[in-house]
Amino acid sequence: MSNLEMVPKGLDGVVVDKTELSRVDGTNGVLVYRGYNIDEVAQCSFEEICYLFLYGDLPNIEQLKKIDKRLKAERSLPKAVWDFVANAPKNEHPMAVLRTAVSMLSGYMLNVDDLSSDVLLRHAIALTSKVSTISAAISRARQGLFAVEPSFDLSHAANYLYMSTGEIPQDVVAKTLDMALVLHADHGFNASTFTARVVTSSLSDMVSAVTAAIGSLKGPLHGGANTAVMEMLIEIGSLENVENWVNQTLQQKRKIMGFGHRVYKTIDPRAKHLKRMSKEWGERAGNVKWFLMSEKIEDMMQSFKHLNANVDFYSASTYYAMGIEPEMFTAIFAVARTIGWTSHIIEQLVDNRIMRPEAAYAGPENKMFVPIEKRS
C-alpha cells in the first residue's frame, strides 16, 4: 500500500493527544464527563458542569454559588457588540454573526494574550457567559426586536430564554434547555474542539480559538446538522410522506441529517435523552407530529443503513416544540459547547506542543521551470 492510500482521511481513528475532560466510548455508546457518566450528570445544572470542567470535579453548594456568581457577573456585553448584533444583516447566518461578535470581544477583554491559568479561567467564564448573551441578542435582532439586557438572578439556561423572549421562562422550559446544554457541553476531540486546540497550540489567545471553533461548529456535518434536521422535517411535512422521502433520499445517495457519527457505532447516549425530551415536548405542545416523524426516520435509518441518530437529530424537534426558530439551533449548541472549548484550550496549554501534522504530497514532481515571458 502506498503512503497516499494509508492517509487517514478526516483523521479517522487517529489519537492526537490525551484529555481528562470527556471520554467517548463509541462501541458501547458511553459518554463520560471527567469520570461521571452522562446519564447521571444529565440531571446536573449547566453551572455544575461548568465547575466540573474548569475545576476538575463537581462543586459543593458553596463552590456552585461562587461559579454561578462569576458567570452572572460576566453576562454584559460591550456596547459595540450589542450594536454590531443589532445592525448585522438580517439574512446573515446566526453562527456567522456570533463568530464575528465573539471575535470583537477580544478588544474589550483584559490581557487577552496572557495565557496564565488564572487569566485563562477568567476568560473561560467570561466567554461562556457572553456567548449566551450574544446568541440571545442575535435571536432578538432576527425578529426585529430590541435586545434584552441580561438578568443577574436567573440561571444560565433561564437567562438565555429570558434574553431571547423578553419573558421569564416557566421552570419546565428552563429545565429542558438546561439539560440540553449539559448534554452538548463537551464531546472529546470533535471538529470544533479540535479546531480550538489547534489554534491554541500556536499559543494564540482564547478568543481566537473560540472564534475558530464557532466557524467549525457552523458546518452541517457538525453542529449545523440540528438546523438541517428541522428543515428536513418541515420539507417532508407529514408522517405519511416520511417513507417515500427517506427511500428517495437514500436512493439518490444523499445523506440524512442527524444520522451517523465518526465515533459512535451504536446509539449516541445523548440522543436517548433528547428523544425522551422530544416526545415530552411534543406532548406538551399538543403536537407530536415532529416526534413521530423523527421516530419513523430513525427506524428506517436503522433498518436500511444501520445508522443511529446523533445528538443533533432529536434536539431539533425538541427545540422546535419549545418555540425556538430552527436557524438559532446551532447558536444554542455554541452556548453549551463554549465551556467545552474553553476547558480544552486550558488543558491544551498545560502541556502544549504545536499541532503540525504532515501531508502526503500528491502533486506533480520535476516540472521544468519556464520564465514568465516564455510561458504560453
In single-letter form, the type of residue at position 30 comes to V
Report how far residue 222's alpha carbon sits from residue 109's, in angstroms, rounded to the nearest whole number. Answer: 29
Cβ-based nearer residue to ligand ACO, 141 or 331: 331
Distances (CA, A) of 188 to 21, 42, 239: 7, 17, 35
- The three cell numbers of residue 199 are 489554534
Could you tell me which stretch among 42-50, 259-267, 316-324, 345-353 binds ligand ACO (CB under 6 A)?
A: 259-267
- Of 210-229, which residues contact ligand ACO (CB under 6 A)? 221-223, 225
Max Cα–Cα distance, the chain, nearest Å: 77
Among 307, 322, 332, 339, binds ligand ACO (CB under 6 A): 307
The nearest distance, CB 88 to ligand ACO, in angstroms, is 25
Q: Which residue has the cell 416523524?
A: 293
Count Cβ atoms within 10 A of the Cβ of residue 370 and give its class: 0-12 exposed, 13-18 middle, 19 or more buried: exposed
- Name the DSSP class of 150: P
Task: Assess 261 for contact with ligand ACO (CB under 6 A).
Answer: yes
- The gap between the terminal CA atoms of the chain, to the nearest Å, is 38
Those residues whose C-beta lies under 8 Å from the C-beta of residue 75, and which sit 6 or more positions away, are 129, 130, 132, 133, 150, 152, 159
Q: How far is the CB of 267 from ligand ACO (least distance, A)?
A: 13
- 265 vs 276, which CB is nearer to ligand ACO? 265
To the nearest whole angstrom, how small is the minimum distance from the Cβ of residue 43 to ligand ACO?
22
**Residue 272 binds ligand ACO (CB under 6 A):** no
Q: Which is nearer to ligand ACO, 190 or 278 (CB)?
A: 190
Region near ligand ACO per CB under 6 A, out of 19-27, 101-109, 309-317, 368-376? 309-317
- 312 is a catalytic site residue: yes
Contact predicate 323/282, CB 8 Å: no
The closest alpha carbon to 338, from 19, 37, 53, 26, belongs to: 53
Quickly list H helices, the chain.
Answer: 38-41, 46-55, 61-73, 79-87, 94-104, 117-142, 156-165, 171-183, 191-201, 206-217, 225-236, 239-251, 269-285, 289-305, 311-321, 329-350
CB of 164 to ligand ACO, least distance (A): 22
Residue 21-40 contact track with ligand ACO, rule CB under 6 A, x = bound: --------------------
Residues 156-215 that bind ligand ACO (CB under 6 A): 190
Instruction: Choose which of 259, 319, 320, 329 interacts with ligand ACO (CB under 6 A).
Output: 259
CA-based angle 51:54:59, to the nearest 5?
25
**305 lines the binding site for ligand ACO (CB under 6 A):** yes
DSSP state of 106: G
Applying CB under 6 A, which part among 14-22, 77-85, 167-175, 304-312 lies near ligand ACO? 304-312
Of the residues 68, 205, 312, 344, only one is catalytic, namely 312
Pick the catalytic residue: 184, 261, 273, 344? 261
Q: Taking a C-beta distance cutoff of 8 angstroms, is the pair 294, 313 a contact?
A: yes
Residue facing ligand ACO at closest CB distance: 260
Check binding of 256 to ligand ACO (CB under 6 A): yes
- Answer yes or no whether residue 10 interacts with ligand ACO by CB under 6 A: yes
- Closest CB to ligand ACO among 75 and 270? 270
- Rounded CA-CA distance 280/224 in Å is 24
Give catalytic status of residue 57 as yes or no: no
260 near ligand ACO, judged by CB under 6 A: yes
Contacts with ligand ACO: how many residues (CB under 6 A)? 19
Interface contacts to ligand ACO, rule CB under 6 A = 10, 190, 221-223, 225, 255-262, 305, 307, 310-312
Active site members: 261, 312
